[in-house]
Structure 1
Amino acid sequence: MTELTEAPLLLDIQDLSVTFGKGTKTFKAVDKINLHVKQGEILGIVGESGSGKSVTMMALMGLLDKQGTVTATTINFAGTDLKTLSAANRRKIIGKEIAMIFQDPMTSLNPSYTVGKQIMEVLELHEKLKGNKLTERTIELLKMVEIPSPEKRMNQYPHQLSGGMCQRVVIAMAIACNPKLLIADEPTTALDVTIQAQIMKLLVQLQKKYNMSLILITHDLAVVAEIAQRTAVMYAGEVIEVAPVPDIFRRPAHPYTEALLKAIPEHSKGAERLSSLAGIVPGQSDRPAGCLLSPRCPYVKPECVNHHPQLTLNKSDVQPTSNWQVRCHYPLETIIHRQNEGELQ
C-alpha cells in the first residue's frame, strides 16, 4: 500500500451534520462527522445500512439542500471553502473536480438519451467542448472504461446495455473532467460477482492513472482491505473509528469494528452460525445518552452508558497518531489488557 504521509490534504470535513424533517419531527441522520482525504488516497467508508455513509457524501455534493438541513464547521476542498460558495460557483466544482458514482447505474442514467449524449453533456458544461472534439473525447472515455465498439455504443440507450456496461458509462461520465476526488457509493451493488471484480479493478486503475483521491463506500470489507489506505467506520450517523489499513483489520480498536470483522464468513469457518451483534441500530427516539453502541456492546461499562465518547486518538495504539482515532471509552486492547489484569470484571 502506498504511503501518503507527505501528500497534501485535499478534503477536510469538520462537524458535518444532516437533519431531515422540520419542527419537532426531525431526525439527525449524520451527527458531527469529521473526515479528511489526502491527494491520491483511497479512503474506505464502511458500516451497516442506515449508518449515514451515503448521506454524508451526498451532503458534500450538495444533493440534500431541498430534502434536509446540512451544517458544518468546515467543508474545505483543495483550499476552497465549499460552505461559503454560491450555488453557481459550487456547480463549477461539483461534477468537474468532485464526481460521484451511485449504486444503481440504471437509475443514474437518463433512459430518454443515448449514453453518448449524456457523456457529452458533462463535457459541454464543464470542458466547453464542441463538434469533433466533443465526439472524439466521448469515444476516448468509452475506450478508457473498456467498452467495446465505442462508436456504436455511444449511440445506444441505457436499456440497450447490460448493467455492467451502464456502470462503465457512469464511470466514464464521472472521470470525464479528470476529477481530483471520485466518490464511489457501492459501485458494484447491482452487478453480478464477476462484473463486480472488473468494475473495482477498473476504478483502481483509473485512480492510479490520474492520481485521484477515491472515497469508496462499501459493505465489502475484503475490497477495503485490498485497495484502501485508510478506513472510516460509521455507526448510527457517527464516525466511530478511523484507522490505517491493514492495522484496523489486525487489531480493531472499537467493539463495533470488531463485530463487523467477526461477521465475515471466513472468520466463522467450522461454526454453525455466522457471528452477529445482538440488537438493532438506535433510531431517533431511542438513542442512548452515552455511547450509541452501549445497548449492544459486549464490553459495556457504567461510563459507556452515562457518557457519550468523543472521537479521539486511539490510546490503545502503541504509538498514538492522528491516523488512528476511535470513539470509545475503552478501546479494545485497553479492555483486553485490563481484563487480563483483573481490573475489569
Structure 2
Amino acid sequence: MSLLTIDNLRVEFGSGKQAFRAVDGVSMHVKRGELIGVVGESGSGKSVSMMALMGLIDPPGQCSADQLLFDGHDLLKMDVKQRRQIIGRDVAMIFQDALTSLNPSYTIGFQIRETLKLHMNLRGAALEKRVLDLLDWVEIPAAKSRINSYPHELSGGMNQRVMIAMAISCEPKLLIADEPTTALDVTIQAQIMELLVRLQKESNMALIMISHDLAIIAEMAQRAYVMYAGQVVEQQPVPNLFDSPTHPYTKALLDAIPEHNKGARRLSALSGLVPGQYNRPQGCLLAPRCAYAQAQCHQNKPPLAQVGIAQTRCFYPLEVGS
C-alpha cells in the first residue's frame, strides 16, 4: 500500500478565460521509506504540486484532485483543523531558501520549540532536550551555543540545517525537500544531501526530492518523475530513466548534461520555450519543440501510458519509435 497517492491533481490560478493551469493532471504514488525524485526545468509545476499537497496554495489559486490520500487519510475530505494535525507532523517540507523561510525576529531555538509544542505537546526539560538533540542530529556544531542565535547570525548552510531540524522534529512519515541546496556552494550542497539521505535511511521515512539537477537525482533517488509544463511526462526507476529514457523531453534533459557534450562547440539544447498561459498547444505540450513530433502529436493530447516498466506521455515513445 502506498503511503501517498495523488491522482489527477490540478492547480489553477485565476478564473474563466484568464485561468492558468499550473499543474495539469499530476498523478504520483510514494511508498513508505522510498526516495523519489521530481525533476524538470523552472516553471514545470514541481513545487506547486507539493505545495498543493501541503495546503499552501492561497486564493486565487484553486486545487482539485480525483484522489489525495496520505497514510489512509483522505485529505480532500478533511477540514483545515484536521489537515493541520497531519501537515507539519506526518508530512513536512523543506523550502528552497532557508533564510526567507525562517522568521528573522525569533531565534532558531524558539522556532523549533514552537513546532514541538504544537505537534508533540512537549514542555520543559523534555522540550529543551529534544531541541538540542535535533540540532546535534543535523550536525550543527556547538548546538548549545547556537540555540539562541537568530537566522541572520548563521550561514546559509547552517540555516538549511535548522530548516531540516524543524522538518524532521516530529519524525514525519513523508519529507518533501524542495531544492534544498539552492544558493549553497558545492561543498555545502554535498553535505546537505548526505545529511538528508542519512536521516531518511535512519528513520525509514519517505523522501520526495524536488530538483532540476539530474546528477542529484541519479545519485539519490530510486524512482523519478519528469515534469514539463505542469504535467508528468515520464516516470520510471532511476537507472532505467538515465539509460533508456522513453520521452523526448527526458532525452533532451539528459543530452544537455555537460558530460554528454564533450568535444562539442555548444551544449545540446531544446529549441523553443515552455508554453505559457496564452500559447498552450492543442495537442502534446512538447510538440512544437519536439524533433520526433508527427501530425497526431499536434492534434491530440497523449495520455500517460505504460511502456515496459516506464510510464510516458507520448504517442511515439523513444523505446518504440526510434
Aligned to 1:331: 317
Aligned counterpart for 1:302 among listed residues 295, 300, 303 = 295
| Matching residue's letter, 2:85 | K
| Matching residue's letter, 1:304 | C
RMSD between aligned residues: 0.7
Deviation at 1:95, TM superposition (A): 0.3
Query: For 1:293-344, what per-residue CA distance to the aligned partner results, in whole angstroms no more than 9, with x for missing partners?
Result: 0000001101111111000101xxxxx24xx2000000002111xxxxxxxx
Deviation at 1:24, TM superposition (A): 2.8
Q: In structure 2, how many angstroms separate the alpha carbons of the residues matched to 1:46 and 1:195?
A: 21
Query: For 1:254-283, what per-residue CA distance to the aligned partner results, in whole angstroms no more than 9, with x for missing partners?
Result: 000000000000000111100000000011
Paired residue secondary structure (2:319): helix
Query: For 1:5-58, what per-residue CA distance to the aligned partner results, in whole angstroms no more than 9, with x for missing partners?
Result: xxx310000010000013332111001110110111111000000000000000
Query: For 1:133-185, what per-residue CA distance to the aligned partner results, in whole angstroms no more than 9, with x for missing partners?
Result: 11000000000000011111011100000000000000000000000000000
Q: How does 1:42-81 map to 2 (within 5 A)?
A: 42-81=35-74
Structure-2 change in CA distance of 1:306 and 1:23 (3 Å): closer
Deviation at 1:65, TM superposition (A): 3.5
Q: How does 1:76-155 map to 2 (within 5 A)?
A: 76-155=69-148
Paired residue secondary structure (1:298): coil
Q: In structure 2, how many angstroms separate the alpha carbons of the residues matched to 1:65 and 1:11?
A: 22
Does 2:188 correspond to 1:202? no
TM-score (norm 2): 0.99
TM-score (norm 1): 0.92
Q: Which runs of 5+ in 2 are unaligned?
A: none
Q: In structure 1, how many angstroms separate the alpha carbons of the residues matched to 2:187 and 2:291?
A: 37
Aligned to 1:19: 12
Q: In structure 1, how many angstroms separate the alpha carbons of the residues matched to 2:295 and 2:19?
A: 29
| Matching residue's letter, 2:315 | H
Aligned counterpart for 1:216 among listed residues 209, 224, 227 = 209
Deviation at 1:284, TM superposition (A): 1.7
Paired residue secondary structure (2:287): coil
| Matching residue's letter, 2:277 | Q
Query: For 1:116-148, what per-residue CA distance to the aligned partner results, in whole angstroms no more than 9, with x for missing partners?
Result: 000000000000000111100000000000001
Aligned counterpart for 1:179 among listed residues 158, 172, 178 = 172
Aligned to 1:232: 225
Instruction: State the identity %.
Output: 61
Paired residue secondary structure (2:242): helix
Aligned counterpart for 2:279 among listed residues 271, 274, 286 = 286
| Matching residue's letter, 1:246 | P
Paired residue secondary structure (1:13): strand
Q: How does 1:154-169 map to 2 (within 5 A)?
A: 154-169=147-162
Paired residue secondary structure (1:189): coil
Aligned counterpart for 1:250 among listed residues 235, 243, 246 = 243
Aligned to 1:265: 258
Q: In structure 2, how many angstroms separate the alpha carbons of the residues matched to 1:98 and 1:200?
A: 19
Consecutive aligned runs of 4 or more in structure 1 exceeding 6 Å deviation: none
Aligned to 1:4: none
Q: In structure 2, how many angstroms separate the alpha carbons of the residues matched to 1:283 and 1:122?
A: 38
| Matching residue's letter, 1:61 | M
Paired residue secondary structure (1:246): helix
